[in-house]
Amino acid sequence: MSTLRVLLDTAPSLGRAVAWSLFDAQDRVLSSGHDAPEHWPNAQRKEAVLAAGCVRVAALKLPPLDRERSTAAATFALEDQLAGPGREQHITVSSQRADGTLEAVIATRDLVASAAVPFLRVVAESTLAPRPDAGAWRWYASGATGGFMRKPDGATFALGASEELPPELDLALAHATRAAASPVRVEVSFPIDDARLAEWTRATGTPFARGNNWRWQDAGPAAFAAAPDLLHGEFARDVAPVRSLAGAAYRFAVVVAIAAVVLHVAAAFSEWAWLHIDQWRTHRALAALARDAGAGDATDPAAALARLRAEARHHAGLAAPGDALPMLARAAPALAALPANSVKTATFGDGHWTFDLALPDTAAAALEQRLSDAGLSTLQATRPGGLRMRVALEAGAR
């Protein structure tokens, strides 16, 4: 099966020429070019590769979570690092490694939406590049313009043209020096002469060395398969149905399997219908109760009743369970058990507390259990220099 991969640094358009490569079933490059869409070769699949300048890759460490929860946790951990409003950004995550680390790929929602129509898969150019060895940074040239830096943990940041030392790299090296995290060397994975490497080494105090030249078309089957697909969540495509077994030897087994599936589906549908009716009755009863209490036709009667209860308590000079101080009082015994100076910041808003903590993973797990015992739900994410934890009142807690 042939695959056409197109490098995009902006939304695709009919008259704009872009770089493309045609791959065979083993992901070997058959041909490449730079053409407008009407001149692209025919292929059974079309995939988009977003140029490194259009995305950012952040490295995170999270507790073991499924795909949807790890995406939510990554969004929470990065909310104060996004360029522009969060609703304009689209974040996807890679599979978690054994140590809980993953890569979070950040792109603009509009760019992903424009690529979701003509392409079956969308990946980031920078996630295709190999990670450098521990302690080193690796500088790649983009197939579009400029380049990008790849770190051992998978994080990347975009750079300007590679003919001169980009100011972004100069600033990043200076920041790493202040944080005592300077790379042992910077590997340059595009054609460069020795004089330029020596000049950059003198200018920054960090050794620059020649690495293997790399282009996104060189990534290979494993890299393309492992790269996170940005078409997930609201942009997810339906999974193609699995082909059924064929042949006379399997007919009886297939018939039995189909019958079992039909019985299972019928039983599941009956249970779903009963639960749906019960839920509808409960919702109707709550809606009637909310109307009688003066909340009107609320779309979420349970939330409306909770709000009315909180307002009534406030009018009576009493605190409501979801207020800042009662919630902090629930959390106080768990926080008091932490070592001194563990809580760096604490902010309250939208019915939840957000704590920035300096804790090891084992202490964070114990804190999460103590907060759960106190009737509080938590969402946490590891950030550089510590842990961020969001704490809210569990549904039904009093």
The DSSP output letter for 396 is: T
Please give the pLDDT value at position 37: 92
260-319, pLDDT tens digit by residue? 888 888 888 888 888 888 878 887 777 777 777 776 766 777 767 777 777 777 777 777
Tokens of 98: 């054994």
CB 148 within 8 A of CB 126: yes
Tokens of 234: 């609201």
CB 32 within 8 A of CB 22: yes
Name the residue among 181, 199, 189, 54 with its Cα closest to residue 129: 189
Instruction: State how far the alpha carbon of 351 is from the alpha carbons of 310, 328, 354, in Å.
Output: 12, 11, 10
Look at the block and give the residue holding tokens 């759960």: 372
Biggest distance spanned by C-alpha atoms of the chain: 81
Name the residue among 162, 159, 153, 142 with its Cα closest to residue 181: 153
Please give the pLDDT value at position 298: 67
Which residues make Cβ contacts (< 8 Å) with residue 324, sequence separation at least 6?
A: 348, 353
Which residues make Cβ contacts (< 8 Å) with residue 396, sequence separation at least 6?
A: none
| Mean pLDDT by groups of 10 residues along the chain of 398 residues | 93 90 93 94 95 92 85 84 74 89 92 91 95 96 93 92 82 93 95 93 94 93 94 73 45 81 86 82 76 71 71 74 86 91 89 88 86 90 83 76
Please give the pLDDT value at position 243: 43
Please give the pLDDT value at position 245: 41
**Residue 107: in which H helix or E strand, if any?**
strand 101-108
Which residues make Cβ contacts (< 8 Å) with residue 198, sequence separation at least 6?
A: 208
pTM assigned to the model: 0.60
Name the residue among 329, 281, 273 with its Cα closest to residue 301: 281
Main-chain dihedrals φ then ψ at residue 169, nearest 5 degrees: -70, -40
Instruction: State how far the alpha carbon of 55 is from the alpha carbons of 11, 124, 159, 286, in Å.
Output: 13, 7, 12, 45
Please give the pLDDT value at position 86: 65
Give, in degrees to the nearest 5, the angle at Cα 186 between 184 and 188.
Answer: 155
Please give the pLDDT value at position 242: 40
Q: How many CB atoms lie within 10 A of CB 150?
A: 25
Please give the pLDDT value at position 85: 66
Q: β-strand 185-188 against 208-210: which pairing, if any?
A: parallel
CA end-to-end distance (rounded Å), the chain: 59
